[in-house]
Amino acid sequence: MTEKSFFAGFGGQGIVSLGQIWVYCAMQEGKNVTFFPFYGAEKRGGIARAGVVVSDEEIASPLVTKPDSALVMNSDSLPLCEEILKENGLLVVNSSLVKENPHRTNLKMVKLEATGIAEGIGNVRFANMVALGAMAKLTGAFSLGHIEEILRKFFSPDKHHFIPMNVQAIESGYKAVENI
């Protein structure tokens, strides 16, 4: 199994953190991973992207040029993700912020109200964790059995009080796409 995923949004949406947690989850299961983040010079509002490969085999290249799946967290990211996604690939769109549809028809699109679900949990900043849960379910790249342990290692101790809401967001994203 090899899953090549591409996450895209704007700075402040937690794209890079999502990618890091994604690889930690897969590493916990003994899988090979690569993580290649990219973000603009701006801290908030600039572009943020991450290419991630999770595999049972050795990984030849960390670059994700034809992803199996792509996550679009904002409208500006849709054209790029649509362009690079492989034929019949999975396109997960944060429909809370992305109102337009892709032009391509040879892909599987899933609309996820990531920002709306996060607002319901208490903070839009959890939208990336909602997306993580949905993408984990839809791709099958790894299980979420160790997510709380991973979050404890990922976040500094002064942020541990946010872990229950992060877990709730991940579980909410997973459940939002359970029947797809």
Residue type, 104: R
d(CA 118, CA 144): 18
pLDDT at 42 over 70: no
Reported as a single tens digit per residue, the pLDDT across 8-39 is 999 889 999 999 999 999 999 999 999 999 98
Reported as a single tens digit per residue, the pLDDT across 125-166 is 999 999 999 999 999 999 999 999 999 999 999 999 999 999
pTM comes to 0.94
CATH value at residue 145: 3.40.920.10
Number of domains in the chain: 1
> Domain limits at 59?
2-176
pLDDT value of residue 26: 97
Angle between helices 127-139 and 163-176 (to 10 degrees): 50
